[in-house]
């Protein structure tokens, strides 16, 4: 499934709710919608022509939520090198989550295989899962 960046239907709802909370009237809602639609027209046209495209990006937003939650924790990586290492492992853990792989089992097996001399390029989560399902 494809996700169109920038096509966020909830944006109108959030701005409308914000407007009403600040004392705006419900009559302003159509005008706010008419300002959002031209900005999103390209993404909307793309959405209507390709059935694989999701209308929202909730899947991506859920994956990125843990980035925002963990941001303060990552300030304590103790060094720049520790931050770089965490940044290298984090996408692997997220990819494991998207593909239904238990991250701990994946990392344990992959690190052991790398130590044995396997090619790291052949050990991506997708390829690892395919190899495990074959035999």
Residue 127, pLDDT above cutoff 50: yes
CA 14 to chain centre: 20
Q: Are 31 and 69 found together in one domain? A: no
Task: Using alpha carbons, select from 134, 128, 73 the residue that is nearest to residue 96.
Answer: 128
Model pLDDT, residue 18: 45
Residues 126, 97 within the same domain: yes
Q: Specify whether 17 is located in the same domain as 72.
A: no
Summarised one tens digit per residue, pLDDT across range 54-68 is 888 888 788 778 777
pTM of the predicted model, to two decimals? Answer: 0.49
The confidence score (pLDDT) of residue 90 equals: 83
Domain boundary among 11, 37, 54: 54
CB 97 within 8 A of CB 71: no
On whether both 16 and 76 belong to a single domain, the answer is no
pLDDT digits (tens, 9 = 90+) for 93-121: 888 988 999 999 999 999 999 999 999 99
Point out the domain boundary residue: 33, 54, 75.
54
Q: Of 54, 76, 95, which residue constitutes the final position of a domain?
A: 54
Q: Which domain holds residue 30?
A: 2-54
């Amino acid at each position: 499934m494809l996700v169109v960046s920038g096509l966020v239907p909830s944006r109108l709802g959030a701005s409308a709710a914000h407007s009403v909370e600040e004392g705006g009237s419900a009559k302003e809602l159509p005008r706010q919608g008419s300002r959002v639609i031209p900005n999103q027209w390209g993404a909307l046209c793309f959405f209507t022509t390709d059935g694989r495209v999701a209308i929202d990006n909730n899947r991506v937003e859920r994956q990125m939520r843990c980035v925002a939650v963990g941001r303060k924790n990552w300030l304590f990586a103790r060094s720049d090198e520790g931050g770089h290492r965490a940044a290298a492992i984090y996408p692997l853990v997220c990819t494991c989550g998207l593909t239904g792989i238990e991250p701990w089992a994946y990392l344990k097996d992959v690190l052991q295989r790398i130590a044995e001399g396997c090619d790291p390029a052949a050990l991506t989560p997708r390829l690892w899962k395919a190899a495990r399902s074959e035999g």
